[in-house]
Amino acid sequence: MARKQRTSAGTTGAAELFPAEGDASTKRSRRTLTPRHETPRSGRPLRTKGRADTMTLSARLHAHLDDRLTVACERTGHGPKGIVEEAIHNYADALGVPAELPQDDDGFTEAMPHDYSNRKNRRPDGEGTDPDLLMLSVRVRPITRARMWHCCVMTGQGVQSTMTTLLNLYLHKLGVPQNVHRDAKGRLRRSG
């Protein structure tokens, strides 16, 4: 087998990389030259972790609030991300947090406030976590996270308390009943 010849510029010529259809060199290998960041099969770029234009916002919710969130998702057709973002923006609007913030605003860079008082009060003995609390993590835009930070600072609450408050207010606005629970088979039911 003959080696590929380099052109005068020192690179491999296009004729060697992409031989003609009837050329004998096409029978060698079907493997194409793909950059390392692409998958050999599909040719599409590999997915990187996370997205540059969103940030993760996490809070623990009580199971009954999570059930109400599920009902709201079924009613509106939105996912948890859509409901949470709308709830944050509605709550921030009610508190008077501006819809546009400067890029150097503290809400974009500062850590979210925490509910430190809840850490010891989760169980009677002050140890462990409350089994009723479920983790909610959604990817939100930076402006939404900054507005949430301002809501926490203005109310003096942490993320968990603020998220519970704003979701309860928004779900009430949507008309989701308070008395949603799961039956023995795990299906959502309205009690009473």
Q: Counting runs of H as helices and runs of E as strands, what totals does the chain give?
A: 7, 4
Nearest-CA neighbor of 167 among 90, 54, 63, 58?
90
Q: Are 101 and 149 in contact (CB under 8 A)?
A: no
Residue 51 predicted with pLDDT over 80:
no
Note the pLDDT of residue 96: 95
Instruction: Say which residue, 23 or 169, is predicted with more confidence.
Output: 169
Q: What is the mean pLDDT of residues 88-114?
A: 92
Instruction: Say which residue, 2 or 93, is predicted with more confidence.
Output: 93
Q: Are 94 and 165 in contact (CB under 8 A)?
A: no
Confidence bin at 40 (pLDDT 50/70/90): low
